[in-house]
Structure 1
Amino acid sequence: MFKLFTNAFWGVTARLILRNKILILIGIVAVTFFLSLNWKNMRFTYTEANLLPDDHKVNLIYKEFLNTFGEEGNLIVLGIKDSTLFTVEKLNAWNKLSEDFKKSDAVETVISIKDLQKLVKDTKNEKFNLEPFIKDSITSVSQIESLQNELFKKYPFYDNFLFNKDTRTIRSAIYLKKDIVNTSERKDFVVDVLMPRIKIFEEKNNINVRISGMPYIRTLNAQNIVDEIGQFILAALLVTSLIFFLFFRSFRATFISLVVVCIGVMWTLGIIGFLNYEITVLTALIPPLIIVIGIPNCIFLINKYQHEVKLHGNKVKSLQRVITKIGNATLMTNVTTACGFATFILTESKLLKEFGVVASLSILAIFILCLLIIPIIYTFLPYPQERHLEHLNKRWIGGFVNWMERMVKQRRITIYASSILLLTISIIGIYQIKISGSLIEDMPKKTDFFKDIRFFEKEFNGIMPLEIMIDTKRKKGVMKLSTLKRMDALEDLIIEIPELSKPVSVVGLVKYSKQAYYNGNTKYYQLPTSQENSFILSYAKNSSSNVDLLKNFVDSTGQYARITTFMKDVGTDKMERIEENIQAKIDKLFPKEKYNVIMTGKALVFQKGTKYLVKNLAISLSLAIFLIALFMAYMFRSARMIIVSLIPNLLPLIITAGLMGYLGVPIKPSTILVFSIAFGISVDDTIHFLAKYRQELQANHWKIKVSVYGALRETGVSMFYTSIVLFFGFSVFTISSFGGTVALGALVSATLLFAMLSNLLLLPSLLLSLERNIANKEVLKKPPINIIPEEDDTESKDSNL
């Protein structure tokens, strides 16, 4: 009954499409125009990818810190390691550059060598005064020598903040206004103000300026992603259309396919704009992904049309059969692919949810476009010429199919042994996979801004902030000597960790105050004793200038303090050990009844988010497998067939995971997608093969071997075509400058290649070996869905279609 309904449905669909072609084309144009109006809503995200749910504990802690101290990632640093800087002309030019940035509306403050102040004891008024190191401008070499002597030898408070006394590297700190850090104004400042002025300075003074800091890195990284979207789309169009042309040797068919996938890309961008989603590192991959997935749809439909035309020469009948026979199969395979992406919707990560929504909707959209546009366009075109049909008789394809058939017939034991060997080796490799939560690991290594990151890591031990916030649970509790001593002991541990920079906090300022009280003697750069504390702090309280220095380290109530350190790019395992060591020290130093101490910062949040995504990977992949298993159960009504169909698709995933372990490719946000994407696509081949296998069984009176080989010959060519397109299509992502995108493209390509071989060799071998258990009328019942309808010459030949 359902079979009759399905056939009737697709028959009606074919007639509706072919009889209302002008109306449908107008509708497609109208939808495309509507979606194109939403392109203006597209914007690249100006915040870091938040991999955690909003209500996750780690996010709540981070928000608590931001509410107390404001945005932490607002620092841009400029650095110079060049001895020629210490000349009158160049040092004055460097100081002037810093002064110029202060005039920008986007800048909150700038701290450079010229802005450095020294605390000077005012005995008469019992307070500290701030005096600049450089009052106006540098006028002589002796003044520079005096400045160097003071900075590098007498003021440890500033060491590793604005200079490295060992390498004589100098840097300036630009603090952007916190309310513009996550807006387009940040990009405007970096691109239109910061970079042009620095370029002029470099050219004029012949000095290389290093630039870093999270606002700068995020801006240039985002721009690289935006630039690559266009490159990916063009590369995907070029590669897939070239392969398509090599298969079909038809400019006409190639052009039609390009039109379809280009409209599909326009719809995808329109969906992103319509849903008001931001373009992230993941959603940026969807447009080229749609091209790669859409071309195989075109191959199935055009190949079927040309096959039908060659068979009986009736164009209308051929187009009707394209819709009725291939439409159902293509729908099922696109639905399974969309399911693979849609499982991300059920995760609690906003980043993955948006990716899942846009990808699954776009895949269904490209299916609809293929089904509507291709048959309609061919109604307006003349019959294919003989040269357009030559590819149907290619001998080398026949040779490939014959090779597969021989392998399944004669080398079944070899296939099983190879599969078991690969499975064993891969499982060993899986245990070597590492998890990476690095903010900068995937950034393009050849860019100047990445080289600058490494420069600041070497000179100042990192640029990624790690924050520790101390809640003393009482007002003015921070300035208690007992609290300062605990903070000092924690800072001593941080200093001993080579992956972290020298910490910055109120402790350093208090030590500096004691040094100033003793007239700048460096041996007094330490916390005051309990006897000294009262009169040194009385000097500090009388100094209004100290309020400005304190505001970045202590909140207005004096209850909260922060310790800021900067972290090198370290692996997740090492980061976890560092976190454990710091946490152990915190637990020892700060009694929970008196203090509440939290660790946070962008780097830590990102690392926690990566671990969270790994758990979501297991959930989304398990859900994808479960949904597709349900689909198989409904389609074939056989639990045994579910197992047989899943084995050839799970094996490639395990092999890929093993490869990741051996090649040192870590699990991270970009590579997490590999498994669900590959599984959703590779299972299409299984559906095609098993659907044809069932049809062959019924046509050959349940003769197993004849049916398996018949299905192999019938589906082998199309599976080979589509797998090659998918392999080279996903390989396009390897041209990316982002390591994660390269890994994603290479791993999905490899997985789909393994999946093709697995479905063409292992799947038919399993069917033949288990023929008594699965290939009989009791087990393999009549399907409720007929994926590939039986050949029937009774379709309407109405020429008025």
Structure 2
Amino acid sequence: MSKIFSFGFWNSIARVILRNRLVIIAIIIGITIFLASQWQNMRFSYTEANLLPDDHEINITYNNFLDKFGEEGNIIVLAINDSTLFTPEKFAAWNKLSEKLQTYPEIENVISLGNLKKLKKFDDPKRFEMVPLLKKGKLDSTQVAGYKDEIFNKLPFYDNLVYSNNTNTVQTALYIKEEIVNSKERKIFVIEELRPLIEQFEVDNNINVYVSGMPYIRTLNSQNIIDEIGLFIGGALLVTSLIFFFFFRSVRATLISMVTVLIGVMWAFGVIGLLHYEITVLTALIPPLIIVIGVPNCIFLINKYQQEIKNHGNQAKSLQRVITKVGNATLLTNLTTASGFATFILTDSKLLKEFGIVASINIIAIFILSLVIIPIIYSYMSLPKDKHLKHLNKKWIGGFVDWVERMVRDHRIAIYIGSISLLALSIIGIYTIKVSGSLLEDMPQQADFFKDIEFFEEEFNGVMPLEILIDTKKPKGALKLSTLKKMENLENIIVDIPELSSPLSVVRLAKYSKQAYYNGNPKYYQLPTSQEQNFIAPYLKGISSEGNLLNAYVDTTGQYARMTTFMKDIGTEEMERIEAGLWPQINKIFPPDRFDISLTGKALIFQKGTTYLVKNLIISLSLAILLIALLMAWMFRSFRMILISLIPNLLPLIVTAGMMGFIGVPIKPSTILVFSIAFGISVDDTIHFLAKYRQELKANNWKIKRSVYAALRETTVSMFYTSIVLFFGFSVFMISSFGGTVALGGLVSATLLFAMLANLLLLPSLLLSLEKSIANKKILKEPSMQIIVNEDDVLPEEENELK
């Protein structure tokens, strides 16, 4: 009954498609127009990927920090390391640039050489005031030199904030308004206003300006993602069309395939817009993925059509049989591929969940498009010419088939030894894999902005803020001298950590107040004593009314204080080492019963998110294996066949993981995707082979060897074609400037190549070696559905119905 139902179902589908061609074309055009209208809802991501669930403790801590102090990643820094800056002309030009930047509505505040203020003591009435350090008007060389001397030698408050005392590098800090930090306006300002202004300054003054800061980095990084979407789509179309044409030697077939996958790409963008998802570094991969995955569908369908035409020359019968005989197998292979992506939906990461939803929906969509468009287009065209069918008898592919068959027949022991050796070597490599939670590692390392990042890491120990939130549990507790001394002790510990910069906190202001009290003498830049604090207290009232100097590091209640340090681009393991060493000292300085201390910041969240994803990787991959195993159990109804089929698909994953360890590719958000994607795609070859193998068993009266070799000769060509397309298609991602995308493309390509060889060599070898235990009617039962339709199943009275 299952066989009749399966055949009858697909025969009905074929009848519906070929009898309602114009209606179906109209429906496809209508859906395409509708989804194209949804493109306007696509949004590009303007913030870092948050890999953790919203209710995760790390995110709760971060949001608590934002409630107290607002956005922490809103600073863009401009730096110059040039001795000629302190000449009158260039010094004036630098100050003019800062004044110009202050006029932009997107800028909240600018701290630069030209507008620095110093804390000055006044006695009538007693107060401190921030007075301009630089007098207005044109300065001569002596005045500029004196100004430089005062900043570098008399104002330690600005050390590592405005200047680096070690190298005489100076920087200007631009504070972006919080409301535009994570919006499109930030991108417009950076791309259209800030960059041209700085480039013009560099040309006019022959000075190199280094630019960095998280808003700037995020903007240029997201722009690179946008630029690369078109590059990936174009590259995927070019590579797959060339390979397709090489195999089929038919412009017509190539164009039909490209039209099909291009519609799939339009639908992919439309689904992203319809669901109001952001274009991230992951969702940007989906359109080219649809091309790479969709082309093998076209290969199966067109190849079958041409085979049928060659056999009997009847177009109507050929088109019907394309749908009827290939429909099941193509549906199942697309389902397994979609399953590999769909497992990401079950994770708690919003980023991965959205990627999984869009990818799985569009993989099924490209299957439907291929199954419908290709037969309909061919139904309106003339029969393929003899030159278009020559590829069916190519000698070189026949030589490859012969080599595969010879290896399986005569060298099974060598195949097993090679597989076991690869397995053992890969397990060794797996133990050397590292986890990387670097926020910057995947960014384009040849880009100018990345080189600027390296400059700031060298000069100021990084640009990624790491925030320490101190809860004193008492109002005004953050301003007590005892608390300030504790904070100073912690700052001294942080200064000794080479990966972290000198912290910024209220301690600096307290030290500066003492220096100002002693008329600016830099040797008094230190925390006041209890007695000095009483003398200084009357002067401090003016600072609070001066603006946000104090409020930037202490909340309005005085209970919470922040300490901001900047970290280098370090990985998860390095950060965990730093935290492990830091926390015992934090708890010693700030007793947990009297203080609550939290470490937070976007860079730290990203690192914690990477660790979280690694744990989810095991769950995601396990679910993919379980889901596909259940699907194969339903198809083949044999537990032993499930085990045999999983071996050649798990081995490539282990080999790839071992290769990552040996070549130093870490586990990170981008490479985490490799395993589920590759497994979902590679199992397609197994389904094709086992389906054909079971069909041959029945045709050959359960004779194992004859059935294995017949299945091998029948499926090797299609496996080879599709694997080559997938290999080169995923290799397109290696042209990316993003390290993670390059690794994803290379690793998936390598895994699929291993998987093809495993399915062509190891799988049939296992079937032959275990023939007595698996190949009998009791073990290999009638399948729940017929995957490949036999020639005899096509009913004669229906063959010519659609002529």
Could you state the TM-score of these two structures normalised by the residue count of structure 2? 0.99
Partner-residue secondary structure (3-state), 1:759: helix
Counterpart residue identity of residue 794, structure 1: L
Match of 1:333 in 2: 333
Partner-residue secondary structure (3-state), 2:791: coil
Match of 1:208 in 2: 208
Provide the rounded CA distance (Å) in 1 between the counterparts of 2:288 and 2:441. 23
1:157 aligns with 2:157: yes
Match of 2:87 in 1: 87
Match of 1:60 in 2: 60
1:138–1:144 Cα contact (<8 Å) kept: no
Alignment of 1:174-573 (within 5 A): 174-544=174-544, 546-573=546-573
1:261–1:294 Cα contact (<8 Å) kept: yes
Match of 1:797 in 2: 799
Deviation at 1:87, TM superposition (A): 1.0
Provide the rounded CA distance (Å) in 2 between the counterparts of 1:120 and 1:92. 25
1:637–1:781 Cα contact (<8 Å) kept: yes
Alignment of 1:28-177 (within 5 A): 28-177=28-177
2:18–2:802 Cα contact (<8 Å) kept: no
Provide the rounded CA distance (Å) in 1 between the counterparts of 2:212 and 2:542. 37
Deviation at 1:652, TM superposition (A): 0.1
Provide the rounded CA distance (Å) in 2 between the counterparts of 1:535 and 1:336. 76
1:620 aligns with 2:620: yes
1:436–1:571 Cα contact (<8 Å) kept: yes
CA-atom RMSD, angstroms? 1.0
Counterpart residue identity of residue 339, structure 1: S
Provide the rounded CA distance (Å) in 2 between the counterparts of 1:719 and 1:294. 15
CA 1:392/1:542 → structure 2, altered by over 3 Å: closer, same or farther?
A: closer
2:15–2:802 Cα contact (<8 Å) kept: no
Provide the rounded CA distance (Å) in 2 between the counterparts of 1:460 and 1:425. 42
Provide the rounded CA distance (Å) in 2 between the counterparts of 1:341 and 1:582. 39
Deviation at 1:193, TM superposition (A): 1.4
Provide the rounded CA distance (Å) in 1 between the counterparts of 2:125 and 2:341. 70
Counterpart residue identity of residue 305, structure 1: Y
Provide the rounded CA distance (Å) in 2 between the counterparts of 1:71 and 1:199. 28
Provide the rounded CA distance (Å) in 2 between the counterparts of 1:299 and 1:548. 65
Residues 646-682 of structure 1: CA distance to partner in whole angstroms, max 9, x if unpaired? 0000000000000000000000000000000000000
Match of 2:685 in 1: 685
Provide the rounded CA distance (Å) in 2 between the counterparts of 1:547 and 1:484. 21
Shifted more, 202-211 versus 537-546: the winner is 537-546
Provide the rounded CA distance (Å) in 1 between the counterparts of 2:802 and 2:624. 44
Match of 2:763 in 1: 763
Match of 1:576 in 2: 576
Provide the rounded CA distance (Å) in 2 between the counterparts of 1:19 and 1:64. 62
Residues 488-521 of structure 1: CA distance to partner in whole angstroms, max 9, x if unpaired? 0000001000111110000011011111111222
2:129–2:542 Cα contact (<8 Å) kept: no
1:101–1:107 Cα contact (<8 Å) kept: yes
Deviation at 1:48, TM superposition (A): 1.2
Provide the rounded CA distance (Å) in 2 between the counterparts of 1:697 and 1:77. 71
Partner-residue secondary structure (3-state), 1:565: strand
Provide the rounded CA distance (Å) in 1 between the counterparts of 2:574 and 2:85. 37
Provide the rounded CA distance (Å) in 2 between the counterparts of 1:134 and 1:264. 62
Provide the rounded CA distance (Å) in 1 between the counterparts of 2:225 and 2:654. 30
2:2–2:784 Cα contact (<8 Å) kept: yes
1:39–1:273 Cα contact (<8 Å) kept: yes
2:316–2:379 Cα contact (<8 Å) kept: yes
Provide the rounded CA distance (Å) in 2 between the counterparts of 1:390 and 1:575. 60
Counterpart residue identity of residue 130, structure 2: L
Match of 1:24 in 2: 24
Provide the rounded CA distance (Å) in 2 between the counterparts of 1:534 and 1:282. 57
Provide the rounded CA distance (Å) in 2 between the counterparts of 1:763 and 1:112. 68
1:443–1:737 Cα contact (<8 Å) kept: yes
Deviation at 1:545, TM superposition (A): 5.3
1:91–1:138 Cα contact (<8 Å) kept: no
Provide the rounded CA distance (Å) in 2 between the counterparts of 1:6 and 1:786. 6
Shifted more, 233-242 versus 122-131: the winner is 122-131
Deviation at 1:28, TM superposition (A): 0.5
1:678–1:748 Cα contact (<8 Å) kept: yes
Shifted more, 94-103 versus 370-379: the winner is 94-103
Deviation at 1:480, TM superposition (A): 0.5
Provide the rounded CA distance (Å) in 2 between the counterparts of 1:597 and 1:390. 73
2:653–2:751 Cα contact (<8 Å) kept: yes
Partner-residue secondary structure (3-state), 1:670: helix
Alignment of 1:589-738 (within 5 A): 589-738=589-738
Provide the rounded CA distance (Å) in 2 between the counterparts of 1:438 and 1:3. 53
Provide the rounded CA distance (Å) in 2 between the counterparts of 1:14 and 1:542. 83
Deviation at 1:102, TM superposition (A): 1.2
Provide the rounded CA distance (Å) in 2 between the counterparts of 1:546 and 1:490. 28
Counterpart residue identity of residue 750, structure 2: A
Gaps of 5+ in 2: none
1:333–1:687 Cα contact (<8 Å) kept: yes
Partner-residue secondary structure (3-state), 1:433: coil
Deviation at 1:537, TM superposition (A): 2.4
Shifted more, 409-418 versus 518-527: the winner is 518-527
1:130–1:545 Cα contact (<8 Å) kept: no
Partner-residue secondary structure (3-state), 1:406: helix
Provide the rounded CA distance (Å) in 1 between the counterparts of 2:333 and 2:92. 67
Counterpart residue identity of residue 413, structure 1: I
Deviation at 1:526, TM superposition (A): 1.0
Partner-residue secondary structure (3-state), 1:625: helix
Could you state the TM-score of these two structures normalised by the residue count of structure 1? 0.99
Deviation at 1:544, TM superposition (A): 4.8
Provide the rounded CA distance (Å) in 2 between the counterparts of 1:369 and 1:537. 76
Provide the rounded CA distance (Å) in 2 between the counterparts of 1:479 and 1:770. 77
Q: How many residues are matched?
A: 801
Partner-residue secondary structure (3-state), 1:562: strand
2:543–2:549 Cα contact (<8 Å) kept: no
Shifted more, 426-435 versus 2-11: the winner is 2-11
Residues 305-346 of structure 1: CA distance to partner in whole angstroms, max 9, x if unpaired? 000110111111011110001011100000000000000000
Counterpart residue identity of residue 716, structure 1: T
Provide the rounded CA distance (Å) in 2 between the counterparts of 1:37 and 1:471. 50
CA 1:35/1:469 → structure 2, altered by over 3 Å: closer, same or farther?
A: same
1:129–1:545 Cα contact (<8 Å) kept: no
Partner-residue secondary structure (3-state), 1:105: coil
Counterpart residue identity of residue 183, structure 2: T
Gaps of 5+ in 1: none
1:495–1:501 Cα contact (<8 Å) kept: yes
Counterpart residue identity of residue 448, structure 1: D
Counterpart residue identity of residue 759, structure 2: N
Counterpart residue identity of residue 91, structure 1: F
Residues 426-445 of structure 1: CA distance to partner in whole angstroms, max 9, x if unpaired? 00000000000011000001
Provide the rounded CA distance (Å) in 2 between the counterparts of 1:39 and 1:21. 27
Partner-residue secondary structure (3-state), 1:436: coil
Provide the rounded CA distance (Å) in 2 between the counterparts of 1:318 and 1:651. 38
Partner-residue secondary structure (3-state), 1:598: strand
Provide the rounded CA distance (Å) in 2 between the counterparts of 1:733 and 1:352. 19
